[in-house]
Amino acid sequence: MRKLFFFSILVLFSLTLFLMWFYSFREFSFGYFVLLILGFLTVLGIYDSFQTKHAILRNFPVVGHFRYILESISPEIQQYFIESNTDGRPFSRNIRALAYRRAKSVNDTHPFGTQRDIDGEDYVALRHSIYAVHVKDEDLRIEIGGPDCKQPYSASIFNISAMSFGSLSANAVRALNLGAKKGRFFHNTGEGGISDYHMQGGDLCWQIGTGYFGCRDEHGNFDSEKFKEKAARPEVKMIEIKISQGAKPGHGGVLPGVKNTPEIAHIRGVKAGTTVLSPPAHSAFSDSEGLIEFIRELRELSGGKPIGFKLCIGRTEEFIEICKEMVAKGCKPDFITIDGAEGGTGAAPLEFSDSVGLPLEPALIFARAALEKFHLKDDIKLIASGKALSAFSILKNIALGADACNSARGFMFSIGCIQALRCNTNECPTGVATQRRGLAKGLVVTDKSERVYNFHKNTINAVKELLGASGHHHTSELTIHDLVKGDEMIKLANRYFPDTVNTQV
């Protein structure tokens, strides 16, 4: 191919010179431009032939570059020209469009019937009632706070899941928090800590990860005094200990160096420009007993605010051990966030995203059964995190055992995310998941915060309509028996090996 390339260049070069001579050089001035292009291609071809990093370019000089160009735009080709309305990943075009329409408060109805395969194995539906009711509760809420909690919090059933400043731009965080303020739902800070952009007046769930960002000493260990100072802020309504997340359980968070600006480094207490890898495990505790004691410590330091923890369930026996320790110590969290293996992240090794952790649905069923077995559920709220975006997905998670849902990618869609799959490159075209000022500037906070509010409001309204169709007045009345798989005679409960779950519990 190299010989063919250089032979072709030589032929074109000779042909151009001949034409320039034939028509006289002055009358064929365009030939100089052609010679310039051929000269550039010749130099590039020589470089490609002698470079040692890419075999394709050595074997196919110049032409081989088209392979890398096409590869770089393959996500866009897939999304805009190939995928159907129902097969996009991780969210289909229909689901993304639903989020966009609700964020803009425009018509969110769907024409001409379902496009899903309702006879397929994955079809799950809500068992509606012929005696539908009108749900009067204007904003479906739950109270989070057990008997040891001195400052219980009234939470919406739909909230913003953990996303740090650093993974998201400053404008994105501000828009999310302002939307949460107007809609009266909470905004999880993510493990990156509380930034000035989180302080727009919205309620916060402060997440404490393994890196203890915002409450760490110079060695990266937990600093109780720094925690006490920040936990006293009135915007901080709850504190969440992040044990693991669904997209990469046991791996720890990742902030690419290109996103680690001096501002972010100052907030987190790390060195700017370096890739920040949170430890895979906490240094403040290493077993169930230590976890329960840490919960007790944070509750005291925070003045009695709701304390919980977030995890993706892997070894079910470890969750059982935590339940036993709660009973033994007489201390329990106020809430537990269950993250499914299908949860999202801006950056994770493929093996962790694809192959580690229990999916949300069986994890919720198991966690609820375990808490009820040890008579803990009445004092502990379960929050589901993992692809909760539509009203049905929220109702399904609650029917499976949750009390409320958190969504990250759903609210990202509401502020303009187009699922470009560039979160880990700092090149997010919509200014959501980037620290490049030029890109982030395109996200207008005043407009997008209103869309966050609209998305939450319209989704909750859709939840109430579905809830009324099922014959219930509040989401707390839902159970797994409200869901069916395929047809009305096959209940979803039969899908999840109940004997195995009951044996472990």
pLDDT for the residue numbered 491: 55
Interatomic CA distance for residues 54 and 48, integer angstroms = 8
- pLDDT, position 231: 96
CB 259 within 8 A of CB 188: no
What CA–CA distance (Å, rounded) separates 400 from 193?
31
Give the separation between CA 364 and CA 432, rounded to whole angstroms: 30
Return the closest-CA partner of residue 395 out of 496, 277, 492, 476. 476
Contact between 149 and 305 under an 8 Å Cβ cutoff? The reply is yes
Regarding beta strands 483-485 and 124-126, do their DSSP bridges make them parallel or antiparallel, or are they unpaired?
Answer: antiparallel
Residues 6+ apart with CB under 8 A from 494: 485
Low-confidence ranges of the chain (pLDDT < 70): 1-2, 23-29, 79-80, 84-86, 88, 112-115, 117-121, 250, 252-253, 344, 346-348, 486-505
Rounded Cα gap, residues 500 and 496, in angstroms: 9
| Interacting residues of 39 by C-beta distance below 8 A, sequence separation 6+ | none
Nearest to residue 294, comparing CAs of 344, 227, 356? 227
pTM of the predicted model, to two decimals? 0.83
pLDDT of amino acid 44: 85
Q: Where are the alpha helices (DSSP H) in 141-213?
A: 170-183
> Rounded to 5 degrees, what angle do the CA atoms 485, 494, 318 make?
120
> Which residues, 6 or more positions from 183, have their beta carbon under 8 angstroms from its beta carbon?
156, 452, 453, 456, 457
State residue 173's pLDDT score.
Answer: 95
Contact at 8 Å (CB) between 168 and 415? no
**Residues listed for the chain:** 505
Name the burial class of residue 114, with classes exposed (0-12), middle (13-18) and buried (19+) by CB atoms within 10 angstroms of its CB.
Answer: exposed
Peptide bond into 306 cis (omega under 30): no
Q: pLDDT by residue (tens digit) across 293-318?
A: 999 999 999 999 999 999 989 899 99
Give 315-319 contacts, CB < 8 A, sequence gap 24+.
316/358, 316/366, 316/370, 316/504, 317/504, 318/288, 319/366, 319/367, 319/370
User: What is the pLDDT, as a whole number, of residue 493?
Assistant: 58
Whole-number pLDDT of residue 86 = 66
> pLDDT (tens digit, 9 = 90+) per residue, 74-116?
777 776 677 766 676 777 778 888 888 889 888 877 776 666 7
Instruction: Give the DSSP letter string of 357-421.
Output: S--HHHHHHHHHHHHHHTT-GGG-EEEEESS--SHHHHHHHHHHT-SEEEESHHHHHHTT----S
Question: Which long-range contacts (C-beta less than 8 Å, at least 24 apart) are formed by 402-406?
Answer: 402/338, 402/364, 402/368, 403/142, 403/157, 403/475, 403/476, 404/142, 404/155, 404/156, 404/157, 404/158, 404/159, 405/157, 405/158, 405/159, 406/158, 406/159, 406/160, 406/161, 406/162, 406/188, 406/337
State residue 262's pLDDT score: 85
Any alpha helices (H) in 51-185, and if so which ranges? 55-59, 65-72, 74-77, 93-104, 170-183
Q: Give Cα 503 distance to the centre of its chain.
A: 33
